[in-house]
A and B are shown apart, each in its own frame.
Chain A
Amino acid sequence: MKLIFKRKSKLKEIFFEKIFALCSYLSILTTVLIIYILATESFQFFKQIPITDFLFGTHWEPLLEPKSFGVLPLLFGTLLIVIGSALISIPLGLIIAIYLSQYASSKARRIIKPILEILAGIPTVVYGYFALTFITPIIRIIFPDAEIFNALSGSIVVGIMILPMVASLCDDALQAVPKSLKQGGYALGTTSFEVIKGILIPSAFSGIISSFVLAVSRAFGETMAVTLAAGATPRFTINPLESIQTMTAYIVQVSLGDTPQGGIEYQTIFAVAGLLFIVTLMMNLFSNYIMHKYREVYD
């Protein structure tokens, strides 16, 4: 007996293929457009302001006369937040991940994991408010000369914010290490801690490092919480108790204010955004490089 099949419509197949292709091209198009706008507007800016003045100037005062366009205060403000939050989230996140993946009972895991996910889901403006009303007063008890808006408070709150991401990604990386490696370690008469330090962390290294980089990129781009906690005073300082302004906070300030479109003041935000874009792009490339360099292939 011969089976007779209905002919499938080739047209339907082609239609869906095109739809899927269109969606992926759309994301490329968006990226290209963003880069295009950043580039052209920044170009306008750099026609008037020399790029060396922008990159190496230590005074940022684009809105008031006399104007100055040195981006270093914004860059230092951003770096203060990034470094501070990384110092909090990276060690703590890794420790949480190690506990979760190696020591926690399945019951403890069932409680801690969802809490971390909730922490990751809180809107950033809430974090900012939390910093201002809870963290800052504590800081000012410990350091009475700290300003109301200060970089330390911003760093702490951004650190708490990106902590779940570090913990969860490191946990995934550690869980992905084959169980057989762990057993191989134990079979040599070693303790849990020795196996974690000597086998698991080196094996999961690429995943751990890329989680760090992702977290740091996120801290670079974080806006709302730092604007609320760290203030809007562009200052060329490394003192975390002073008020600073980050690149993103500056962009918000200009975007919300009554700066007229098209002027040099307006174009500054594209130059700043372009710098931010380049910095985070470099971080992502670095993360990719690390991931490929240290990725171990298991079957």
Chain B
Amino acid sequence: MTVSGARGMFSAYAPILVVAALLALTPLATSANTVLNAMVLALLVALAGQGWNILGGYGGQFSFGHAAFFGTGAYGTALLQARYGLNAYVAFAAAIGAGAAVGAAIGFLSFRSGLRGSYFALVTLAFAEVFRIVANASPFTGGAAGTLLKLDVAPGNFQFASRAIFFWIALALVTLVLILTRAIERSRFGAYLVAIRENESAAQALGIDTFKVKLQAITLSAAVTAAAGAFYAQYFLYVNADIAYGAAVSVEALLAPIIGGLGTAFGPLIGTLALHGLAEGAKALTGRIPGIDVALYGALVVLVIAFAPKGLRGLAARLGRGLSTRWAS
């Protein structure tokens, strides 16, 4: 590897490792499970958002139905354990595989039909809804009663007494996907994806196999979001159709990257931390007025879309540039 290549590697991956290392210290800074639980939830949403970001942020394929993958991950790990007595870790891996398979199937069907833009968004939404209804009605998934995992706290069961361990696992997953996303950014595959986002017809004309690239992206994207779902099931030990395939998941998965910065590695993480931080802060400051966090969510989305279309990360970069030019002059 050339020197500049090594330097490039360093500047690409070092920030990820620094952020991960700083976040990893959280359990040492606070032993409050309230904070840790909130952080685990935030990381979960970030992970789901990271999955969405691969397809939506880099590839420009806006999905409104990432719940389909989240839910498959959640149900996958829950059912494999509850019904077939599989080891929790094996079930976790299998659930990610199942999510990826569902992603590939949905991608195959919709991209083959040449669905783009809002049509693709609507089809993914429809798939998630169909999954929700089937999961709600089918006796296999426990119907509307959902699937309950047995509470049996033991490391071998992927159940830990300490919330800190769950936190570190969630952080490890998020970090892994950060690295993966950065690697995609720097790869030929990533360049193809961006080309498709910017102008799909032009990309095709340049010889990019757009169908193949999009299919790879949705599979990867689904696998990441499925990991978030599987982790959810393992953390709360309960899934039902609304939790797994509900529209709320799809919305959260796309909100985080949009707020944080579409098509950037850190976007989803920044977005969720900002949203959740704001919500928790608002709750604490206003003396817990019910619903205040949701109202703030809405306000923040409006503000970001109006004033920072490139997300918080874009806003920060713009402010940074503004300051440096002022100093320079």
**Is B a genuine binding partner of A?**
no
Q: Which A residues form the contact surface with B (CB < 8 A)? A: none
